Amino acid sequence: MSEPNELKKVYPVCFWCGTTFQEAVILGDEFTPEQKGAIPERCVLHYDPCPKCTSEWTQGCVFIEYGFDATYDGQPALERPDGTKFYPTGRLVVLNTEKAVAMFGKDGGDIEPISFLTKENFGAVFEREPEILCFWCGEPKTGVKSAEKRLKSVSDYEPCETCRKKYSGKCVLFECDYAPNQKSVDGVSVKVLGKSMYPTGRLMRLDFKVAARLLGPDTGDFVYVPTDKFKFLSGEVKQKRGGLNESKVSLRRNDDY
């Protein structure tokens, strides 16, 4: 039991990582004796990051998730200007400033060093599995369907099941550049005879018989072909049948946090 006016020494705990601060805080008359009695000697008193967390936070922009209900009994509340109380959930993401500006900056504007996001927004931004699109047809392969472009990406050159079905029964040649091109997925290449190549999105379907004649008898179903060879072959084939398919996707991968 605390007596009236008795001071109480409390060591604050960092809400974010659980480290105990070195310096104690003296609780005075701003707390009633009952409150003081209920406060343990080590506890979260505020949301100031400890030195270790501070050094992480200053690496970029901090996004903090909050809700309107306390996550545990006695959690200190924060207050909006309109008086609404809110409570950090403990989850946060530190993004390097460049990335944060790319994601949230309007017209390349500055971002606050610390932003608070509701659970819904935090989840939408940082947890939602991005929709992976088929490089060739632009349709989703996996992930949560989203209207937001930011949550869509192409991660590889594997045709989706629909494309595979559509192309089955024929030999498919995928044109590839020797260097990354506008359509290629950042940092992802295919290997053609041990060399890194980058599909352009153009493809050509050939009867197996024709493919065997042009490319050799061991030609598989899906073949990556360097652009010079592709152009030569398409010239050969075009005389018989017109038109090449082109992939509809030109999104870039930009969702690595």
User: Which residue of 12, 36, 50, 64 would you call a contact of Zn ion, by CB under 5 A?
Assistant: 50
Between residue 135 and residue 154, which ones bind Zn ion under the rule CB under 5 A?
A: 136-137
Between residue 192 and residue 251, which ones bind Zn ion under the rule CB under 5 A?
A: none
Chain centroid to CA 136: how far? Answer: 22
Site string (81-120) toward Zn ion, x via CB under 5 A: ----------------------------------------
Distance CA 50, CA 39 (A): 20
Which two structure tokens, joined as six digits, stand for 67? Answer: 């809700």
Chain centroid to CA 208: how far? Answer: 41
Q: Which amino acid is at 62?
A: V
User: Which residue of 61, 62, 163, 176 would you call a contact of Zn ion, by CB under 5 A?
Assistant: 163
* 7 is a contact residue toward Zn ion (CB under 5 A): no
* 157 is a contact residue toward Zn ion (CB under 5 A): no
Residue 201 backbone zone (phi > 0: left; psi -120 to 50: alpha; other: beta): left
Whichever of 104 and 116 has its CB closer to Zn ion, that residue is 116
Q: What is the largest CA-CA distance in the chain?
A: 99
Contact 136, 163 (CB under 8 A): yes
Kindly state the smallest distance separating residue 62's Cβ from Zn ion, in Å. Answer: 12
Q: How many residues bind Zn ion (CB under 5 A)?
A: 11
Q: How many residues are given for the chain?
A: 257
Give the interface with Zn ion as residue ranges (CB under 5 A): 14, 16-17, 19, 50, 53, 134, 136-137, 160, 163
